[in-house]
Amino acid sequence: MTTTFGDIKTKVTSRLNNGLMTDALAAEFVKDAMTRINRTLRVPSMERKLTLTVGSDSDVTLPQDFLQMRDLIVLGTGYGNLKMHKAERGVWENADDDAGGTVYLYTRIGSKYYMKPTVAAGENVEIIYWADAITLDDDTDVDPLFNVAEDLVTYAALVYAADHFQDERRNLWDATFKELLLEVQAQADMQEMTEGYLSVAAGTPLDY
């Protein structure tokens, strides 16, 4: 069964059990909860895949829902689905810009990622990234995280509700939220290890 924005609001309202709670406040608390969760949690349900076209400066512009890069892979003839290394800006600036270089790096400057050695304009790059939560407006809206960690979102929202209403259960709910956050992240990390994803070395061609 799919969990919706309305379902989360209902659960938060029920557990708070405060007659001063309104639907508008519940929505605000859930949205604040998603913002807090997205600052730290990185799980598969938050991942997105997107193909971008390389610009004239060996760059790609990030999507608006971008939180953090997971993988950047150069596609097309001559690259062989090349997975690149993420580098600090100082390291990237000192890297070889010649196409004959053997270390393939990318770094973020503002809203773009830049690559070295130079990737020709018009080539395609596939990015796999962790995305921000969807915009929650209607009760029927569904963020992928709702069906993975409904309880995590609920307790995060309850913390904000407790702050608002000065509820003495605030610390208890916050402790529960933090425990759940660790559990959900640990489960995702274990899944990564089990699937053997971490055994793929950066800077090497990937066979699709």
Segment 7-51, tens digit of pLDDT: 999 999 999 999 999 999 999 999 999 999 999 999 999 999 999
Indicate the helix (H) or strand (E) that contains 165: helix 150-165
- pLDDT confidence of 207, banded at 50, 70, 90? very low
Residue 53 and residue 122 in contact, taking contact as beta carbons nearer than 8 Å? yes
CA atoms within 13 A on the CB side of 52: 25
3-state secondary structure of 87: coil
Q: b/e for 134-153, b at 16 or more Cβ within 10 A? A: eebeeeeebbbbbebbeebb
Q: Name residue 38's amino acid.
A: N
Q: Compute the average pLDDT of residues 156-165.
A: 98
Mean pLDDT for the chain overall: 89
**Contacting residues for 208 by C-beta, under 8 A, at least 6 apart:** 81
